[in-house]
Chains A and B, each alone.
Chain A
């Protein structure tokens, strides 16, 4: 019988913090600007320049540490990690090794019916590197230092995950927490969240860990899942052939769906860490920790419980809405304006989710305001517009955040409640559709639907369908 293998996975997750400026200088962190425009002597490693720490980085890092049940290192320091690479202008990265800001935490994940804790070994602050673009034309690399010095936290988990599903659950959980804190937008595609997978396999039932590899360059959950499957199979294959796994760093190629070792004689992997002499220790007092805690938002699990209790929203709906802090914020704000949480929830659950899917967007990317959604709910509830008009207006809100009051007014979409006008139209419809009238009177209930349709069409959808239905029945009695 073939051997059974267990996969053992630990993650190193880099998250770019949502500060306005870089970690050690006052350059903007804005994404997507022209090359090297957001640079200064500090983030380009000019001789004589010195780093000064951005306080907000400590605040965000400590907040993430607290939200993931870590112990905060109340006297923490920066160290230099020394290695030569052109995206790293000083040829050392200012990071934390000996006294990282947070340690010994965990997050709870849920896969299927199973709940478990994934432990966090440590979390540290560091600076991001610049971006290298390969110039195929003359076979060189071009350096853009705009990203150099953007603040990162690296969150290092214990090897507590056993499958790709657990990895994704852990990452989603981490992402939600960090997004709730407003500490990062955590976009894998844009690289504001980056995941390195440490993976080893061992025979099921054994205690000892196998030799692990580290896989980098994973830009989506899909890539992470595939890379895990691929690496698991690769390692099992090696072991089955009686070979050994070498501890190397591998780069995932998403197009070829394979990975290759990034080995070089020049990569000694000996980083010669030592305390950064240009920065002084950070002392995080009990009071400071209390302040950061006091500022923490209500997290997802708290919101789910509250929505169920306060608004009578089903568990499933509450989970969907709170999956994104942005959507939860819209929900709460719109509900408080219009006082109809269930209606707001419906708009988010059905139409919003449908349009997000259609546009290939994430909930974080929703641009409409809760005020406009609330207005729409009120227009619809008061019968000012009917449900099909409401859907049409919602699409406009979703796309351009239009003010529904104005939009309905300007486009004359109000439901016509004027019985006199409706009476005239109905008489005309009855006169023009004698066959349908005969059918209905002959007992064909369907024929009424046709007449309602004709009426709605004649009134450009603005009629109140209930009223049309009732009136027709009366007139054809």
Chain B
């Protein structure tokens, strides 16, 4: 097998076995980037020189036995909303177009400690606001399965890079589905962990109460191994939680006998693509055949998650993004009359349309006279949604759902109707509101040849159960690769 087609864990093993060096691993990624990046455009920044230098360093530490972990020497791409010291971190926005952080995000530092080699920063929807990676200031990312389609978003660059085999794995972030939905569109595996599992220190905030960093990879094993590396209790993040266990790979068992899995029947409604529905139900059957108990149930409140989410996320975003003002870092407009004019011009020129839309909405719902009606109402709705999930998890070990109502739409099809785009997050958003873990795994392709993703949602801190189910399902099929990476690349 070619290096570029290996999973992170497979590659890591070969590096430990001295069959492949860290430098060779990086060269394989860079070679693939040279080949497909022009078409896919997964990256905002590719750090060729730095990466090779780092790979040499890491290789020395592997050779002398200092670095022995499963990810040592394996290249990784990091979503461009995670701070990397001295390396451009733009959030795919003009306003941070020249920003070089002075510290590295905790999750990325954890990876570095494990010997990871950062190859570059991946494209995303500007400030993670979007579901297509089309709102990036640095141009769109294309879906490796079909270049006329979007990769999903907002972690579209990370998911496309993994699918296009530009890197064995990547980090994404998920506020309303931003790991799971593009993973589904790109046919890769991505997990949003329980809120508080991975430190947010160094993640440039969109919706602070919803944001979580998570892995994107080719299989469930990788995701579990990566999550073990990035998860930590971080005293720098007050919302970081000291978990009882950080063992996730222990859950990789091909055995779901007796596990109770619920399928919310209210998820299978209008708007869900017929082919997607069939794939999910077929996958559920597979699990049933393997001994799981699968039944339908009524989750309730499904249609209220999106409006509640847009109030909460936009409100937090309006405040989180206030710091981008042309004073301390980032873009400052050329000409201005006074301070407030400088603020307004810098921000209006520096932010794209979708970001402005959400900042405006967020400012409005928090403004005098509307706070109770909108913000508190949304927080109460969030409490009800959490209760609904709590009730469901009293009965079920996990919930099965689509990751998105459709497969990847064509480029440009989503942007002109924001509300329609928001509705695409219907299966992922409530998971963020309730702080739950959710994993998306590929369960087939539709008639257009685009991947379909299935989501397995767990109760809080129950990552092991969803890894277990996802792993067991994964054993029933092969990892499918887009044609783009197969051309002339077949062994």
A–B in direct contact per CB < 8 Å: yes
Given A53-B238, A277-B209; A272-B367 close (CB under 8 Å): yes
B89, closest chain A residue (CB)? A47
Q: Contact between A45 and B323 (Cβ–Cβ < 8 Å)?
A: yes
Query: What would 18 more interface pairs be, CB under 8 Å, given A91-B323, A279-B238?
Result: A45-B328, A48-B83, A48-B103, A48-B201, A48-B205, A49-B103, A49-B201, A49-B202, A50-B200, A52-B235, A52-B237, A52-B238, A53-B238, A84-B340, A89-B328, A270-B367, A272-B368, A277-B209
Q: Contact between B102 and A90 (Cβ–Cβ < 8 Å)?
A: no
Partner of B102, one of A46, A80, A91, A266: A46
Chain A residues whose C-beta falls within 8 Å of the C-beta of B83 in the assembled complex? 47-48
Q: Contact between B319 and A80 (Cβ–Cβ < 8 Å)?
A: yes
Chain A residues whose C-beta falls within 8 Å of the C-beta of B318 in the assembled complex? 82, 272
Question: Does B160 count as interface, using CB distance less than 8 angstroms?
Answer: no
**CB-defined A-B contacts under 8 Å, sample of 9:** A41-B103, A46-B101, A48-B82, A48-B201, A84-B343, A270-B368, A272-B367, A277-B208, A280-B238
The minimal Cβ–Cβ distance linking A58 to chain B, given in whole angstroms, is 13
| Interface of A, helix, strand, loop or mixed by DSSP | loop
Interface residues in A263-283 by Cβ distance below 8 A to B read 264, 266, 270, 272-274, 277-280
Chain B residues whose C-beta falls within 8 Å of the C-beta of A84 in the assembled complex? 322, 325, 340, 343
Q: Contact between A277 and B316 (Cβ–Cβ < 8 Å)?
A: yes
Q: Contact between B329 and A82 (Cβ–Cβ < 8 Å)?
A: no
Question: Does A210 count as interface, using CB distance less than 8 angstroms?
Answer: no
B375, closest chain A residue (CB)? A274
Given A48-B105, A50-B237, A91-B323; A272-B366 close (CB under 8 Å): yes
Q: Contact between A50 and B371 (Cβ–Cβ < 8 Å)?
A: no
The minimal Cβ–Cβ distance linking B239 to chain A, given in whole angstroms, is 6
Question: Does A86 count as interface, using CB distance less than 8 angstroms?
Answer: yes
B207, closest chain A residue (CB)? A277
The minimal Cβ–Cβ distance linking B207 to chain A, given in whole angstroms, is 8
Chain A residues whose C-beta falls within 8 Å of the C-beta of B375 in the assembled complex? 274
Rounded to whole angstroms, the CA-CA distance of A212 and B236 in the bound complex is 43
Chain A residues whose C-beta falls within 8 Å of the C-beta of B203 in the assembled complex? 48
Question: Does A191 count as interface, using CB distance less than 8 angstroms?
Answer: no
Rounded to whole angstroms, the CA-CA distance of A272 and B366 in the bound complex is 5
Question: Does A92 count as interface, using CB distance less than 8 angstroms?
Answer: yes
B363, closest chain A residue (CB)? A272
The minimal Cβ–Cβ distance linking A212 to chain B, given in whole angstroms, is 19
Interface residues in A50-103 by Cβ distance below 8 A to B read 50-53, 80, 82, 84, 86, 89-92
Chain A residues whose C-beta falls within 8 Å of the C-beta of B91 in the assembled complex? 47
The minimal Cβ–Cβ distance linking A32 to chain B, given in whole angstroms, is 23
Question: Does B204 count as interface, using CB distance less than 8 angstroms?
Answer: yes
Interface residues in A236-259 by Cβ distance below 8 A to B read none
Question: Does B304 count as interface, using CB distance less than 8 angstroms?
Answer: no
Question: Does A44 count as interface, using CB distance less than 8 angstroms?
Answer: yes
Rounded to whole angstroms, the CA-CA distance of A84 and B338 in the bound complex is 13
Chain A residues whose C-beta falls within 8 Å of the C-beta of B329 in the assembled complex? 46-47
The minimal Cβ–Cβ distance linking B131 to chain A, given in whole angstroms, is 22
Question: Does B408 count as interface, using CB distance less than 8 angstroms?
Answer: no
Q: Contact between B99 and A41 (Cβ–Cβ < 8 Å)?
A: no
Q: Contact between B323 and A90 (Cβ–Cβ < 8 Å)?
A: yes
Rounded to whole angstroms, the CA-CA distance of A139 and B96 in the bound complex is 27
Chain B residues whose C-beta falls within 8 Å of the C-beta of A143 in the assembled complex? 327
Rounded to whole angstroms, the CA-CA distance of A141 and B340 in the bound complex is 13
Q: Contact between A91 and B239 (Cβ–Cβ < 8 Å)?
A: no
Rounded to whole angstroms, the CA-CA distance of A95 and B363 in the bound complex is 18
Q: Contact between B238 and A82 (Cβ–Cβ < 8 Å)?
A: no
Chain A residues whose C-beta falls within 8 Å of the C-beta of B325 in the assembled complex? 84, 86, 91
Q: Once A and B bind, how many residue pairs between them come within 8 Å at the CB atom?
A: 100
Question: Does B315 count as interface, using CB distance less than 8 angstroms?
Answer: yes
Interface residues in A332-366 by Cβ distance below 8 A to B read none
Would you give the 0/1 interface string for B356-382, flagging 1 where the beta carbon is closer than 8 Å to chain A?
A: 000000010011100100010000000
A85, closest chain B residue (CB)? B339
Q: Contact between B315 and A274 (Cβ–Cβ < 8 Å)?
A: yes
Q: Contact between A86 and B327 (Cβ–Cβ < 8 Å)?
A: yes
Q: Which residues of A contact B (CB under 8 A)?
A: 41, 44-53, 80, 82, 84, 86, 89-92, 141, 143, 264, 266, 270, 272-274, 277-280
Rounded to whole angstroms, the CA-CA distance of A82 and B201 in the bound complex is 22
Partner of A274, one of B200, B238, B371: B371
B201, closest chain A residue (CB)? A50
Q: Contact between A41 and B102 (Cβ–Cβ < 8 Å)?
A: yes
Chain B residues whose C-beta falls within 8 Å of the C-beta of A141 in the assembled complex? 339
Q: Contact between B323 and A280 (Cβ–Cβ < 8 Å)?
A: no
A41, closest chain B residue (CB)? B103
Partner of B204, one of A47, A52, A82, A89: A47
Rounded to whole angstroms, the CA-CA distance of A264 and B338 in the bound complex is 13
Chain A residues whose C-beta falls within 8 Å of the C-beta of B96 in the assembled complex? 47
Rounded to whole angstroms, the CA-CA distance of A277 and B101 in the bound complex is 23
Rounded to whole angstroms, the CA-CA distance of A277 and B238 in the bound complex is 10
Chain A residues whose C-beta falls within 8 Å of the C-beta of B202 in the assembled complex? 48-49
Chain B residues whose C-beta falls within 8 Å of the C-beta of A91 in the assembled complex? 322-323, 325
The minimal Cβ–Cβ distance linking B5 to chain A, given in whole angstroms, is 33
The 3 closest A-B pairs by CB, nearest first: A91-B322, A272-B366, A277-B208
Chain A residues whose C-beta falls within 8 Å of the C-beta of B207 in the assembled complex? 277
The minimal Cβ–Cβ distance linking A127 to chain B, given in whole angstroms, is 14
Interface centre among A46, A50, A82 (most CB of B within 10 A): A50
Rounded to whole angstroms, the CA-CA distance of A416 and B369 in the bound complex is 84
Rounded to whole angstroms, the CA-CA distance of A264 and B208 in the bound complex is 31
Q: Contact between A82 and B205 (Cβ–Cβ < 8 Å)?
A: no
Would you give the 0/1 interface string for B192-212, flagging 1 where the beta carbon is closer than 8 Å to chain A?
A: 000000001111110111000
Q: Contact between B238 and A278 (Cβ–Cβ < 8 Å)?
A: yes
Chain B residues whose C-beta falls within 8 Å of the C-beta of A264 in the assembled complex? 340
The minimal Cβ–Cβ distance linking A350 to chain B, given in whole angstroms, is 54
Q: Contact between B323 and A47 (Cβ–Cβ < 8 Å)?
A: yes
Rounded to whole angstroms, the CA-CA distance of A270 and B365 in the bound complex is 12
Rounded to whole angstroms, the CA-CA distance of A91 and B329 in the bound complex is 13
The minimal Cβ–Cβ distance linking A86 to chain B, given in whole angstroms, is 5
Rounded to whole angstroms, the CA-CA distance of A399 and B237 in the bound complex is 48
Partner of A47, one of B99, B209, B315: B99
Chain B residues whose C-beta falls within 8 Å of the C-beta of A47 in the assembled complex? 83, 89, 91, 96, 99, 101, 204-205, 323-324, 329
Rounded to whole angstroms, the CA-CA distance of A103 and B367 in the bound complex is 25
Q: Contact between B204 and A48 (Cβ–Cβ < 8 Å)?
A: yes
B342, closest chain A residue (CB)? A86
B347, closest chain A residue (CB)? A84
Would you give the 0/1 interface string for B63-102, flagging 1 where the beta carbon is closer than 8 Å to chain A?
A: 0000000000000000000110000010100001001011
Rounded to whole angstroms, the CA-CA distance of A273 and B205 in the bound complex is 18
The minimal Cβ–Cβ distance linking B325 to chain A, given in whole angstroms, is 6
Rounded to whole angstroms, the CA-CA distance of A381 and B3 in the bound complex is 93
Q: Contact between A90 and B101 (Cβ–Cβ < 8 Å)?
A: no
The minimal Cβ–Cβ distance linking B238 to chain A, given in whole angstroms, is 5
Interface residues in B293-337 by Cβ distance below 8 A to A read 315-316, 318-319, 322-325, 327-329
Chain A residues whose C-beta falls within 8 Å of the C-beta of B103 in the assembled complex? 41, 46, 48-49
Rounded to whole angstroms, the CA-CA distance of A143 and B329 in the bound complex is 13
Rounded to whole angstroms, the CA-CA distance of A274 and B316 in the bound complex is 9
Chain B residues whose C-beta falls within 8 Å of the C-beta of A53 in the assembled complex? 238
Partner of B319, one of A46, A50, A272, A280: A272
The minimal Cβ–Cβ distance linking A342 to chain B, given in whole angstroms, is 54
Rounded to whole angstroms, the CA-CA distance of A91 and B203 in the bound complex is 18
A42, closest chain B residue (CB)? B236
Rounded to whole angstroms, the CA-CA distance of A143 and B239 in the bound complex is 30
The minimal Cβ–Cβ distance linking B161 to chain A, given in whole angstroms, is 21
Partner of A44, one of B235, B328, B371: B328
Q: Contact between B323 and A89 (Cβ–Cβ < 8 Å)?
A: yes
B127, closest chain A residue (CB)? A47
Rounded to whole angstroms, the CA-CA distance of A318 and B339 in the bound complex is 54
Rounded to whole angstroms, the CA-CA distance of A55 and B74 in the bound complex is 41
Rounded to whole angstroms, the CA-CA distance of A86 and B343 in the bound complex is 10
Rounded to whole angstroms, the CA-CA distance of A176 and B58 in the bound complex is 60
Rounded to whole angstroms, the CA-CA distance of A48 and B204 in the bound complex is 4
A24, closest chain B residue (CB)? B238
Interface centre among B105, B200, B328, B371 (most CB of A within 10 A): B328
